[in-house]
Structure 1
Amino acid sequence: MGYQGTELDRRIAREHFAPLHVVQRPRPVRLEELGRKATPESAAETHVQVNGLWVPKQNLRDATIVSLGAQSHPRGLAYELDALTRARLCHLQHPHWVMSGWTAAAQWGLEYFVDDPGFRDLQVTPPVLTLIHCLKSLWSGEHSWNIPVGTGLTDAGVRAVQLVDAMSRIFGIDPQELPEACAHHLDRRRMEVLTSWCDQGGESPMETLM
């Protein structure tokens, strides 16, 4: 059997609206989009140049958050720009690429996964496949973040519950629908145990832990 998330993807796509933070996030631009008289010097007052494009300075992440993120990242990567901005930069440079994994999750609305209304040509993997990619990334140790101790679950288990909670809220679905939708790509029993820990009412990763 092949991918089994198509029906759930279609339902999500029919009912999904881009979160406000996705719609309102300032976009990277080319120099000429800043005005006919714009120069690199004038642009540098409000933007930073990244790979030939100009990103609003307000999109830069706080240095402390960047440092903390690098400490918890398995490869020590420090991201000065949020995932949404990085995805948009990538799209502007490679418009035919399809975003997947955590990049696609950011586009759908994950803050802490919809084609972007400001970038309607930006292609991303469908909702369930995006979640599958992210869970595989967590379970393989390719991606992580800091979590408190003493939850009774493994670190990867806590992160997986937080992720499924967040994406279920964004997509407006019941986590119990996921074991079937993910069955051909992820172990069904493992997904059943995972979703049994999920709390649909959790509004944030910290609420999930509570």
Structure 2
Amino acid sequence: MRYRGTRVDEIIAAGSGRVHIRDGASLDARITTLPAPLHEVRLRSAAYLNVAPEEPVVMTELLQHYHRVSRHHVVPRNVLRPPGLAVYTARHHPRRLRYDADACTRVVAHLIERPRAVAAQFSAAALLGITDFADSADTALLGPFNRRITDDVTVPSVRREAADLPTWTLRLGERTLRTTPPMLTLAHCLRAVLDSEHAWSTPAGLPPHPATIRGVQLIDRFRREFGLTADHIAEALHGLIAQRTLTRLLALSDAGADSPPETVMRLVAREAAPHLEWCPQVPVYTDGSVGAPGTRDPGRTLLTVLDLAATACRRFLYYDGDHHLDRSQRDRDSAILAQLTVWNWTGLRVTAGMLADVRHLNALVRALTYPRVLSA
């Protein structure tokens, strides 16, 4: 099937969204860890210990300070993911693999070791700037390989590269890294999710199948970060994802979700109150006026942006991430909530814990939108 995503890839390369990436772009070395060759670190450790590099004590000492990300590369332990997060995400991995190093670091190591390979799936997404869900995913490569799904965190999952595979080249210092372009990357990620090759935590209790929720979260992230419409996705993924499946996912998708939890919050709201039109990113100004979703009026002072709102009845939902625990942020949140209340807005501030209990959150949203439920 001929790849039809080139036009949309070019739109992304022109800078249509919040993430700017193009074929030939340089990755920011300040935020991308370049793995160190194991043999070089081993020689330094041997010299420090004043023993031969082959001595077992060398690797024992080395691994106290470094973590192996591939057969021939390591990174300092201080750049690893938080241990608790690595353990948590491993619970949802199809083979319970625990990845302590982030996806970008791992795929860079594997591409250095395999210059003919191409980053794919969530490894490619990480290189392109879509890091959500990638750090707990297998490193995935395309190239002159027989298909193999890994059961070892230092070994990538590989598939044979198609003869007409479109690729982008990215640069990290003096190194060049090949990756699939954005829309082909999205297609590969969706296939991995729908085929249960990768998974992450989703709340129980929502009608869509967990794989469907993950697919919608993926599409939402690509749309939000690259500034894409549903039509862009439908055009680019034509023939790569079954049409009925793609239509179903796009019907649930929205480009306004700022994070994967906001996608879940929107799905809960639509399930709890389907009679309302829920819109994301609704601006409210200090004069009480409400702007069109996803817009900003430079001539007015912004009070807040409602993560999700049914403007016709003045109902809203916020998703409060970790930064809302900060004292100054809590003070600001309270002031905004007070002003919205004066203007007859009614809403909820939703947390990660509330999203985990979909049934209760559904009841709260129903009570919010059907006032009579409150007195029942």
Asked if 1:208 corresponds to 2:228, the answer is no
Q: What residue identity is the alignment partner of 1:69?
A: T
Shift of 1:90: 0.5
Give the Cα–Cα distance (whole angstroms) in 2 for the partners of residues 204 and 87 of structure 1: 24
Q: Find the partner of 1:118 among 145, 168, 172.
A: 172
Asked if 1:39 corresponds to 2:44, the answer is yes
Asked if 1:147 corresponds to 2:202, the answer is yes
Asked if 1:168 corresponds to 2:241, the answer is no
- Structure number with the higher strand fraction is 2
Structure 2: any 5+ residue segments left out of the alignment?
Answer: 22-26, 49-60, 135-167, 266-376
Give the Cα–Cα distance (whole angstroms) in 1 for the partners of residues 20 and 96 of structure 2: 34
Q: What residue identity is the alignment partner of 2:67?
A: V
Question: For residue 189 of structure 1, what is the aligned residue in structure 2?
Answer: 244
Shift of 1:8: 1.0
Whether the aligned pair in 2 keeps the contact of 1:23 and 1:118 (CA below 8 Å) is no
Question: For residue 64 of structure 1, what is the aligned residue in structure 2?
Answer: 84
Whether the aligned pair in 1 keeps the contact of 2:39 and 2:72 (CA below 8 Å) is no
% identical equivalent positions: 33
SS of 1:72's equivalent in the other structure is: coil
Give the Cα–Cα distance (whole angstroms) in 1 for the partners of residues 28 and 249 of structure 2: 28
Whether the aligned pair in 2 keeps the contact of 1:176 and 1:192 (CA below 8 Å) is no
Question: For residue 136 of structure 1, what is the aligned residue in structure 2?
Answer: 191
Whether the aligned pair in 1 keeps the contact of 2:194 and 2:211 (CA below 8 Å) is yes
Q: What residue identity is the alignment partner of 2:80?
A: L
Higher Cα radius of gyration: 2
Give the Cα–Cα distance (whole angstroms) in 2 for the partners of residues 48 and 76 of structure 1: 19
Q: What residue identity is the alignment partner of 2:109?
A: L
TM-score, structure 1 normalization: 0.85
SS of 1:121's equivalent in the other structure is: strand
Whether the aligned pair in 1 keeps the contact of 2:8 and 2:183 (CA below 8 Å) is yes
Shift of 1:78: 1.3
Give the Cα–Cα distance (whole angstroms) in 2 for the partners of residues 31 and 72 of structure 1: 30
Q: What residue identity is the alignment partner of 1:143?
A: H
TM-score, structure 2 normalization: 0.50
Whether the aligned pair in 2 keeps the contact of 1:61 and 1:80 (CA below 8 Å) is yes
In terms of mean alpha carbon deviation, does 84-93 or 108-117 score higher? Answer: 108-117
Could you report, residue by residue, the CA deviation over 1:68-102 in whole angstroms, capped at 9, with x for unpaired residues? Answer: 22211111111121111111110121122111111
Shift of 1:151: 2.4
Shift of 1:26: 2.4
- Change in CA separation of 1:128 and 1:70 when aligned onto 2, cut-off 3 Å: same
Give the Cα–Cα distance (whole angstroms) in 1 for the partners of residues 30 and 20 of structure 2: 10
Question: For residue 108 of structure 2, what is the aligned residue in structure 1?
Answer: 88
Structure 1: any 5+ residue segments left out of the alignment?
Answer: none
SS of 2:91's equivalent in the other structure is: helix
Question: How many residue pairs get matched?
Answer: 207
Shift of 1:47: 3.8
Whether the aligned pair in 2 keeps the contact of 1:9 and 1:126 (CA below 8 Å) is yes
- Structure number with the higher helix fraction is 1
Whether the aligned pair in 2 keeps the contact of 1:100 and 1:130 (CA below 8 Å) is yes
Give the Cα–Cα distance (whole angstroms) in 2 for the partners of residues 30 and 151 of structure 1: 46
Whether the aligned pair in 1 keeps the contact of 2:171 and 2:177 (CA below 8 Å) is no
Question: For residue 17 of structure 1, what is the aligned residue in structure 2?
Answer: 20
Q: What residue identity is the alignment partner of 2:5?
A: G
Asked if 1:27 corresponds to 2:46, the answer is no
Give the Cα–Cα distance (whole angstroms) in 2 for the partners of residues 30 and 171 of structure 1: 34
Question: For residue 367 of structure 2, what is the aligned residue in structure 1?
Answer: none
Could you report, residue by residue, the CA deviation over 1:168-210 in whole angstroms, capped at 9, with x for unpaired residues? Answer: 2222211332122211111223212211211211111101111
Q: Find the partner of 1:102 among 122, 125, 129.
A: 122
Question: For residue 53 of structure 1, what is the aligned residue in structure 2?
Answer: 73
